[in-house]
Chain A
Amino acid sequence: MKKKQKMQKKAEIKSALKINFSTDWKYDPAPESADHIKLEKKYDLFINGKFVAPKKGKYFETINPAKETKLAEVAEGTEEDIDTAVRAARSAYEKIWSKISARERGKYLFRIARIMQEKARELAVIESLDSGKPIRESKTVDIPLAAAHFFYNAGWADKLDYAFPGRKAHSIGVAGQIIPWNFPLLMAAWKIAPALAAGNTVVLKPAETTPLTALKLAEIFQQADLPPGVVNIVTGAGATGAALTRHPDIDKIAFTGSTDIGKLIMKSLVGTNKKYTLELGGKSANIIFEDAALDQAVEGIINGIFFNQGHVCCAGSRLYVQESIAKNLIRKLKDRMETLIVGDPLDKNTDIGAINSKAQLEKIQSYLTIGIEEGAQRFQPACDLPKSGYWCRPTLFTDVAQSHRIAQEEIFGPVLSVQTFRTVEEVIEKANNTPYGLAGGVWTDKGAKVFSITSQIRAGVLWANTYNKFDPTAPFGGYKESGMGREGGVHGLYPYVELAS
């Protein structure tokens, strides 16, 4: 007993220690050069294989959120443009894409994947410029994964009979796809690749703050000689997306974005026969048990919430720490947060880039205030922030209650709320106490516990002793109000086919 008390005291002293990070030593800037990229001043809509001016002649600016400077002007697609695009997609579907052999369809996708790989660096730089994400992430995650999605789905084109044994898979027709701003090119790949592999044609609406890589992808389609109309890209904001979902000649809607908009879309589809998949918000639990490897767990927590500035639908934004290790873990976590570099997205050392837009920054900031008003303790490291641009320090809230808004609502920023738990039953209860069900993480040394916990969490993707891992072969998508349908893997093809005997 005495020994235990002694040990506990020792642990307390240890957890009170704090590493002093103040030093004269600083990283030199290591910016990725943007000389290699080629951006037009103005981008038109990509319809029927060509860039065409929007019918109403309106354009909007897409800006670099790290500098608040204009990158390019982009066409604002209206209802008329959507109609032209859908007609082009319908005609390409009927005359070409549903007629050519599955093998040739696949070979087009392989070509696209290869050209994406060839242009990977340019795409990565543009992605970071347009979205604010660190170049390290766009170079090692976004772009290679996007190409990999095309490569993976390319192979499925002539193998669909094996994906749906006992049934004959037919294409559906024209898919309308609306994608978010957090992983612009990757989301375009997630959507377009399986749709084309299964024999459908596409009208894609990129997010208004990050349209550039989708338009570069359009150039890649041209270079790959993809038949005109097979993919059409109509840029614009919410109204453009709404026009796409409303269009009567769309057979299937695929949407990734917020749960609120997802519900609006679902409502707008009432009374139609359109198929749909929705990949929506989340408030995922990352659960740390006392038997976890703590240093690895700290890295996992950091990656879980601060990857891509926390603009990740499956971010591990609710941290649940077993009480016995909470003090120690939170100290380690704060120490680690002190070392994070916030700044220039093009700098290779940057951990946290710019917040994607002013509106998003304001939303995150409102939660930073709400957290304190609700009685939580806020911690932010004392890192420097650039003068212009949209920035948010990595933030951690302790003393959080399950009922707090920062523990219930999706913030979509680098903000982590921490709660503690004592028993397995308690943490399962808390983790599942949310309308969302996208993802979750479990950290423990015990394999048996991993499977026990993951089977009790009501969510579509579970990571054990890792977090935020993605692969074209692995299905992704949510339970409950995080959406319906899966993207990736064999399951990701299912929403894009009609099965017949």
Chain B
Amino acid sequence: MTDKTIKFEKRSASDESKAIEGVEQAKSSRLNVLKTYKIYIDGKFPRSESGRYYTLESAKGKAIANVSLCSRKDFRDAVTAARAAQLKWASATAYNRGQILYRIAEMLEARRTQFIEELVLQGSTSEAAQAEVETSIDRLVYFAGWSDKYQQIFSSVNPVASSHFNFSILEPTGVVGLLAPEENSLLGLISALAPIIVGGNSCVLLASGSKPLCSVSFAEVLNSSDVPAGVVNILTGYRKELLSHFSSHMDVNAVVYAGDSDDEFKTIQQNAVSNLKRIIRFSPKNWYSPECESPYRILDCQETKTTWHPIGN
């Protein structure tokens, strides 16, 4: 042991049992503290302004949680927060954004058992839950790595036929609405969200309606990962109700749809015309597939800016 190292030593069994003496009795009658699943807007955890809720039940019919049933007003508040946060997030260095995404992965790794439990509670097998959480962590690391690279892949210096230095770079589209998939409520959400925010956009997302627990817990991960308030806002509720608001709000620049209903997508297409929202359908058959890991997912929510600059004395 050096002066810069502290070594943990295993406590003896007798010490250990002394320490928990008295706890035993309390344990038998101890009541669990239940978690309130709230939404996430502007870095805070409010309930829906509407006061409405819906109840999640386990397969055996036991109530698990009362989840906020978000309203149009909640959505509008979230967009306001997202808009306010976006420019600053976009102007953070690519390196900084990458570090923050990596930090999200670190925080998720630290809470992996919690997420596995929540997935199991919502019907996953423990093997599937473990795979989903681990893939989610690695996917965040994957997109963290893109932060300072996608620009190098997609930007260009254009050899124009005049005496100009001409270059095209990417800039984030702005505020992006994301409708997360119903299944793979954690992996699907992260796969769709990571490319949006790594590119400097802010996001308002609607969690899986039937499996929202991980999404709310993921907000807690974001909240402890140096992600600035407002960059990601997470709502829970009925997709049917909020779909039209996501797609018609005039201050939303793009909508990513990760559901699997053609009708819902058509509604988005129709509403998006009002302010020329970019529409991205991201509904892979399998959220583990390689198509979910691609810089083109980042490109989906980017604009190309070309600058002309004269060359001469």
Contacts and interface: CB of A to CB of B under 8 A. Distances in A.
A323 to B, nearest CB: 16
Contact of A38 (B4, B148, B310, B313): B4
A424 interface: yes
Given A38-B3, A473-B152, A154 B145 contact: yes
Contacts of A151: 95, 98-99, 102
A159 B297 CA distance: 14
Contacts of B295: 159, 162
A452 B310 CA distance: 9
Contacts of A452: 311-313
A155 B149 contact: yes
Contacts of A158: 142, 145
Interface string A141-182: 000000010011011111100100000000000000000000
B146 A155 contact: yes
Contact of B313 (A154, A157, A449): A449
B98 A451 contact: no
B152 A148 contact: no
Interface string A95-133: 000000001001100100000000000000000000000
A140 to B, nearest CB: 15
A490 B148 CA distance: 11
Contacts of B95: 148, 151-152, 472
A448 interface: yes
A448 B310 contact: yes
Contacts of B146: 155, 159
Given A107-B141, A156-B145, A447 B98 contact: no
A107 B310 CA distance: 43
B33 interface: no
Contacts of B98: 151, 155
B144 interface: yes
B165 interface: yes
B3 A103 contact: no
B148 A152 contact: yes
B138 interface: yes
Nearest to B3: A38
B148 A451 contact: no
B138 A162 contact: no
B309 A447 contact: yes
B102 to A, nearest CB: 6
Contacts of A162: 149, 153, 295
B289 interface: no
Interface string A417-461: 000000010000000000000000000001111011001000000
Given A473-B152, A490-B152, A155 B311 contact: no
B32 interface: no
A489 B311 CA distance: 25
B145 A449 contact: no
B28 interface: no
B2 interface: yes
Interface in B118-162: 138, 141-142, 144-149, 152-153
A107 B138 CA distance: 9
Interface residues of A, number: 27
Contacts of B165: 451
B4 A451 contact: no
A159 B312 CA distance: 38
Contacts of B312: 448-449, 452
A103 B142 contact: yes
Interface in A444-485: 446-449, 451-452, 455, 472-473
A74 B131 CA distance: 46
B145 A155 contact: yes
Contacts of A157: 145
Contacts of A472: 95, 148
Interface in A391-432: 424
A270 to B, nearest CB: 35
Contacts of A473: 94, 148-149, 152
Contacts of B147: 155
A157 B138 CA distance: 13
Given A110-B102, A148-B95, A447-B309, A156 B138 contact: no
Contact of A447 (B138, B141, B310): B310
A162 B99 CA distance: 21
Nearest to B142: A158
Contacts of B94: 473
B310 A106 contact: no
A451 B3 contact: no
Nearest to A38: B4
Contacts of A107: 138, 141
B313 A155 contact: no
A489 B142 contact: no
A104 to B, nearest CB: 9
Given A38-B2, A38-B3, A151-B95, A159 B309 contact: no
Nearest to B151: A473
Contacts of B141: 103, 106-107, 110
Contacts of A152: 95, 148-149
Nearest to B152: A490
Contacts of B102: 110, 151
Given A424-B313, A452-B312, A489 B152 contact: yes
A356 to B, nearest CB: 27
A447 B309 CA distance: 8
B26 to A, nearest CB: 39
Nearest to B145: A155
Contact of A159 (B4, B145, B310, B311): B145
Contact of A448 (B142, B148, B309): B309
Contacts of B4: 38
A107 B142 CA distance: 9
Interface in B182-240: none
A449 B102 CA distance: 41
B151 to A, nearest CB: 8
Nearest to B138: A103
Contacts of A446: 313
Contacts of A490: 149, 152
Interface string B77-113: 0000000000000000011001100100000000000
Given A107-B138, A155-B147, A452-B312, 10 more contacts: A110-B141, A151-B98, A155-B98, A162-B149, A448-B309, A448-B313, A449-B312, A451-B311, A452-B313, A490-B149
5 contacts: A103-B142, A110-B102, A424-B313, A449-B312, A452-B313
Q: Which 8 A-B pairs have the closest CB atoms?
A: A155-B145, A451-B311, A448-B310, A448-B312, A451-B165, A38-B4, A452-B311, A473-B148
